[in-house]
Structure formats: structure tokens, C-alpha cells
Amino acid sequence: MKVLVPVKRVIDYNVKPRVKPDQTGVDLANVKMSMNPFCEIAVEEAVRLKEKGVATEIVVVSIGVQQAQETLRTALAMGADRGILVKTEGDVEPLAVAKILKGVVEAESPELVILGKQAIDDDSNQTGQMLAALLDWPQGTFASEVTVDGGKVSVTREVDGGLQTVALDGPAVVTTDLRLNEPRYASLPNIMKAKKKPIDEKSPDDFGVDVSPRLAVVKVSEPPARQAGEKVEDVAALVAKLKSAGAI
């Protein structure tokens, strides 16, 4: 089984984003970038499937600037076999990403696509669902457990009421949730080996996809500062404060 894993380069989750002075977007200058945490979980799950003998090849793909090669190298060091970089400049919206991934799937013919349920920069949570729709493949979203048996994929997914298990006939699309696994750290030998693994470079034109934005960002602003708290003597005083503030 060949597994395709899309990965995204985002601001490191430990870094506090800064808004540009002109409020046109987030300032990325001199900011540490890393793989999206949900994408790391997807790569880890694919590697575990390979270690179990279920997957035979793991292909990782990233859509972005040239520096996204670093993200692909991280995935290769974790255990992926080869990478594909679809070079673009600027932000690419989820629909365009899904269309590019559809072209990659048609070229690579994987039996399973595993990707993070969302990216921590835009929190769109759309690409996996759009890709499944474009491919007309079954999908299992928000996966907390994935089991592959032959051509069947069982996905336990997190829903508002608890857990739901769905059975998918492959090929299928699976999006990962936080509790699916804990990604491994790449060892130094594997990091060195990753430097020799192949990365093919493509462009959106190779897949006939127009990545022109359909949405315009009007303004990006910092969230309002949190107001200082106030101590009260007892419950009666608390209720009075809440009533005066219109909270109850």
C-alpha cells in the first residue's frame, strides 16, 4: 500500500505570531517555521503503518515556497521515503490545495491519503474534506485511531457526543486529530539519511490548477487585551457584580 501524506510549513507552535504594522497579515520575517503539528501526527501514523508491514511506501508532499523543502526533509527523517514540493509563492487557499493534491493523487495512485485535520495558521479544517469530494473517495475525519486491514480502513473519530467508528472501503482519505499518536523525534542518523532521499519539484501548472486567491483579507488585528480580574468577598458580591455587568 502506498500512502500519501501532505504536510504544511507553518509558524512554530511555540512562537507567538505578530501582526504586521499595516494589519495586512501576520509577520513572518525572522520567525521560526516548522511542520504543522497535525501534519506531524499524519506522518507518524503513516510510518507506524509501514512498520506494521501495512504500508510499502510513504510519499510526502508540501505546497509552498522553496523553504518548504526543510519541512519535507523533517518528514523524510521521520521515516517517509520520498517527497514532492509543489512550489508556489504566497498563501494558497484550501480549495486550490485540494485541487493540487488531487493531481498528485492521480499521478501517484496511493491507496490511502493521511493528512492533518487542520493547519494551526489558518485553522480552516477544509482541505481533507475537499480532497475527498474531488476524488469521490470515502473519508474519515478527526481520527483518534486508524486500523487498516486489506482494502478496508477503520477510523475511530472524535465527535461532539464521544467516539464514532466508521468503516471505509479504500482508497480513502483520513484526517488526523491530536490524540491519534505522539510523533517521534527524528534521530541524527535518520536526519543524515533524509538528505539523500529524493524530492521532486513541481508547480501548480503541472496539475492545471489556478492558485489565484478567491478571498481578500480585509484586516488582521491582535485580539483585545484581557481585562484584569477583580476579587470579591463572597458569592452575593459576585452575583451583584455579574448583574451590574449584564452577564446574568
Q: Which CATH number belongs to the domain containing residue 43 in this structure?
A: 3.40.50.620
Question: pLDDT by residue (tens digit) across 66-112?
Answer: 999 999 999 999 999 999 999 998 889 999 999 999 999 999 999 99
Query: Torsion angle, CA of 82/36/160/96, rounded to 10 degrees?
Result: -70
Q: What is the pLDDT of residue 90?
A: 82
How many independent structural domains does the chain possess?
1
Please tell me the distance from the alpha carbon of residue 200 to that of residue 82, in angstroms, as a whole number: 8
Please tell me the distance from the alpha carbon of residue 170 to that of residue 123, in angstroms, as a whole number: 27
Confidence class for position 171, pLDDT limits 50, 70, 90: very high
Q: What is the pLDDT of residue 88?
A: 93
Q: What is the pLDDT of residue 51?
A: 94
Numbers of helices and strands, H then E, in the chain: 6, 13
C-alpha 245: how far from chain center: 40
Q: What is the pLDDT of residue 155?
A: 94
Element (DSSP H or E) covering residue 2:
strand 2-7
Q: Is the pLDDT of residue 193 over 80?
A: yes
Please tell me the distance from the alpha carbon of residue 179 to that of residue 20, in angstroms, as a whole number: 34
C-alpha 86: how far from chain center: 16
Q: What is the pLDDT of residue 226?
A: 83
Please tell me the distance from the alpha carbon of residue 99 to that of residue 146, in angstroms, as a whole number: 25
Domain of residue 24 covers 2-244
DSSP state of 20: -
CB proximity list for 235: less than 8 A, separation 6 or greater: none
Residue, of 242 and 98, whose pLDDT is higher? 98
User: Taking the CA of residue 191 as centre, how many other CA atoms within 13 Å lie in the half-sphere pointing to its CB?
Assistant: 8
Task: Describe the crossing of helices 68-78 and 37-51 by its angle, rounded to 10 degrees.
Answer: 30
Q: What is the pLDDT of residue 230?
A: 82
Please tell me the distance from the alpha carbon of residue 159 to that of residue 165, in angstroms, as a whole number: 10
Average pLDDT of the segment spanning 218-225 = 87
Please tell me the distance from the alpha carbon of residue 215 to that of residue 20, in angstroms, as a whole number: 19
- Other Cβ atoms less than 10 A from the Cβ of 155: the count is 25
On average, the pLDDT of the chain sits at 92
Output phi, psi for 40, to 5 deg: -60, -40
Q: What is the pLDDT of residue 159?
A: 86
Residue where the block lists cell 533524509: 194
Confidence class for position 208, pLDDT limits 50, 70, 90: very high
DSSP state of 185: P
Q: List the alpha helices (DSSP H) in the chain.
A: 37-51, 68-78, 94-108, 127-135, 188-194, 235-244
- pTM, two decimals, is 0.86
